[in-house]
Amino acid sequence: MVQYARARLDASFAALSDATRRGVLEQLGRADASISDLAAKFDMTLTGMKKHVSVLEEAGLVTTEKVGRVRTCKLGLRRLEEETAWLERYRQLWDARFDELESLVEELQRKEKINGRKKRE
C-alpha cells in the first residue's frame, strides 16, 4: 500500500508539473469536457490532448468515461481519498470474516483433540 500510494503521489506531482495539464484541471473544475473540447480550447491536436489527459488519468487526477464515440473527462481529485476509505472498510469486513474463521478453526481443533483422545481410550 505504502509503496503503491507513494508511486501515485509521484505521478500526481509529475502530472502537475505541466502548465497545459494544470489548465486542463482548472477547466474541468468548471465543467466536464470531452477530449475534443479540451483540444480546441488549448489549441492542440486531439492526439496531444489525449496524451495530457492520460497522464492526468494515471495520476488519479482525472477520470474519463466513454459514451458512444465521445470520451468525457472530469475531475477525479478525491479518488485516492475515497479509495483509501474503501480499502479500510474492506479490511474491516475481512477482519470480521477472519475472526469467525479463527473461532471455527479453534472449535475444529478442540473437536479433533477430543476425538483423538476417544480413539486412544
Partner 1 sequence: MDVRSESDPTPMTNRSTVERTSDRELVVTRTISGPARIVFEAWTKPELFKRWWVPKSMGMTLVACELDVRIGGGYRLAFDYEGSTMEFFGKYLEVTPHSRLVWTNDEGDESGAVTTVTFEETGGKTRVVVHDLYPSKEALDDAIASGATAGMPAQLDQLDELVATLPQA
Residue 108 is a binding residue for partner 1 (CB under 8 A): yes
Residue 91 is a binding residue for partner 1 (CB under 8 A): yes
Residue 112 is a binding residue for partner 1 (CB under 8 A): yes
Backbone angles phi, psi at 21, to 5 degrees: -65, -35
Residue 2 is a binding residue for partner 1 (CB under 8 A): yes
Residue 67 is a binding residue for partner 1 (CB under 8 A): no
Nearer to partner 1, 17 or 103 (CB): 103
According to DSSP, the residues that pair with 29 across neighbouring strands are none
* Identified binder of partner 1 from the candidate list 47, 68, 95, 119, rule CB under 8 A: 95
The cell for 6 is 507513494
Residue 78 is a binding residue for partner 1 (CB under 8 A): no
> Among 60, 26, 66, which residue's Cα sits nearest to residue 38?
26
Residue 35: strand, helix, or coil: helix
Q: Are 34 and 70 in contact (CB under 8 A)?
A: yes
The footprint of partner 1 (CB under 8 A) covers 1-4, 82-83, 86-106, 108-109, 112
